Structure 1
Amino acid sequence: MINIIHVIILAIIEGLTEFLPVSSTGHMIIASSAMGIASNDFIKLFTIAIQLGAILSVVVLYYKRFFQSFNFYLKLLVAFIPAAVFGVLLSDRIDALLESALTVGITLFIGGIILLFVDKWFNNPDAKEDKDVSYPTALKIGLFQCIAMIPGVSRSAATIVGGMTQKLSRKAAAEFSFFLAVPTMFAATAKKLLDFYKAGHVFTGEEIKFMIVGNVIAFIVALLAIRTFITFLEKKGFRLFGWYRIIVGAIIIGLYLTGHNLEVI
């Protein structure tokens, strides 16, 4: 049974990890397992729905970008289309993967190794900024986002690396990743809400309170996390995140192999 302390902790984790290349799913697994939270329909909805708070932090921080031109929205739409298409086509397969804690641990670990070398692989002296993102570039970044349908990959990591393969600077790739998160997370939340109601569920007063508290906390924490991440990324790159992912992935794999019951929420 979830309580207000669980809500606060999960919301902090969501705000901290959603826009970092470390996989919020992996952190949710460890936290929920440590707190003994049993998965149910509301918990699954809650962990997706509090992304709305994180989304709002992007809109607030970059509000000028969202009013700069119609082309901005068209590029986000082009980048979003691959995830929308593959999400519908592979929905059942994705749900099956979400039940595997071992998959999350392995992808975290492998993704960490990749991040150790990303800065060397895509060290672009003439890196482009986000204003240089073309429609083909947006589509390619959107295809990279589809890789994040595998739990543990990290949507942020996939799209940032995707942007860097297109010769974007680290900052530009990260910011485009943040922008792309808005339609992606909104669509994921809308789908979960629809599924929740289709299953005949109705929010209780306490569940509504949990939703409000979770979104407010996720919003505040994400505001701080995004700014800190951009500054750190420009100065230090991805290497520290790579080692961090390797450690978290190894913890999840170790817990799984030693028989611990890891609830994937």
Structure 2
Amino acid sequence: MSETMTAIILGIVEGLTEFLPVSSTGHLILATELLGFDQADWEVFNIAIQPAAILAIVVLYWRTFWDVAKGLFGFEQGAINFVRNLLVAFFPAVLLGLALGDVIETMLGNAALVCWTLIIGGFAILAIERWANPPATGPGVAGVPLRTAVLIGIVQCLAMIPGVSRSGATILGAMAFGVDRKTAAEFSFFLAVPTLSGATVYQLYKHGAGLTADDYQLIGIGSVVGFVVALVVVKLFVEIVTRIGFAPFAWYRIVVGAAGLVWLAMR
């Protein structure tokens, strides 16, 4: 398989899974394992294409970001609370990422770990769906209490384990703390902007010096594909979780994780 086709496939996987509670990193690891790619060769690529998913969120929610920007200049409390909540939720990931960065990188090539965390995370989603009782509607991201935003940020740190899912951890964590489904999903989307941007900048700082012009071309291809796919997925995801909930994604995780373990055992 050509490197261009590989970049397209991984771009599709990134766009499909980044904002779903199924772990984009886990799926990228399994995809490279399943298709026989060298994990080390595509590790930086998998991180470098994440800004494409971020751009999809900015495009889809441009009016929200614009209103917040205007509100900050006018010292509006809603805009201040919006930014405050995202920053305090982002901060725990910064601390833990800097402290355990090398440990986290060693886990990125462990496909078996991904499979187990997919399964465990699937059952965790089913449990939260059953026992959490979030309200039907809520005040939006700006209305999330400061303490809840901090707790969501702490839960997000679990996603540093491949297969856990950043979006799954933040969304289900928010619901467990009493946030409605729609606000929980949007909080996760907006929190992805500083979180994924920071992770990408950090990884490119550490590994970017070795990238060639061809590498950047492949990153560009994967990013365009991931952006287009993410645009479609995010809009559908909000509709699905609002009407149905997260159970379909939980069972998907369990099936994929179990199938992955069987495949790894039979190799």
Higher helix proportion, which one?
A: 2
Equivalent residue of 1:64, what SS?
Answer: helix
Instruction: Give runs of aligned pairs for residues 223-242 of structure 1, distance below 5 A.
Output: 223-242=231-250
Q: How far off its partner does 1:123 sit? A: 2.2
Q: How far off its partner does 1:174 sit? A: 0.4
Q: Percent identity?
A: 45
- Residue segments in structure 1 that go unaligned for 5+ positions in a row: 261-265
1:127–1:167 CA contact under 8 A, matched in 2: no
Report how many aligned residue pairs link the two structures.
255
Equivalent residue of 2:19, what SS?
Answer: coil
Candidates 170, 175, 184, aligned match of 2:195: 184
Q: How far off its partner does 1:113 sit? A: 1.0
Query: Which consecutive segments of 4 or more residues in structure 1 shift more than 6 A?
Result: none
The reply to whether residue 151 of structure 1 matches residue 151 of structure 2 is no
Q: Find the aligned partners of 2:32 and 2:53 in 1 and give their Cα distance.
A: 19
Q: How far off its partner does 1:155 sit? A: 0.3
The residue that corresponds to 2:16 in the other structure is 16
The residue that corresponds to 1:82 in the other structure is 92
2:134–2:176 CA contact under 8 A, matched in 1: no
The residue that corresponds to 2:51 in the other structure is 52
Candidates 192, 203, 211, aligned match of 2:212: 203
Q: Find the aligned partners of 2:109 and 2:264 in 1 and give their Cα distance.
A: 13
Q: Find the aligned partners of 1:33 and 1:124 in 2 and give their Cα distance.
A: 38
Q: How far off its partner does 1:129 sit? A: 3.1
Alpha-carbon spacing, 1:194–1:242, altered in 2? closer, same or farther (3 Å): same
Q: How far off its partner does 1:33 sit? A: 2.4
Q: Find the aligned partners of 2:226 and 2:253 in 1 and give their Cα distance.
A: 21
The residue that corresponds to 1:170 in the other structure is 181
Equivalent residue of 2:160, what SS?
Answer: coil
Q: CA RMSD in A?
A: 1.6
Q: How far off its partner does 1:29 sit? A: 2.6
TM-score, scaled to structure 1:
0.91
TM-score, scaled to structure 2:
0.90
Q: Find the aligned partners of 1:125 and 1:20 in 2 and give their Cα distance.
A: 21
The residue that corresponds to 2:63 in the other structure is 64
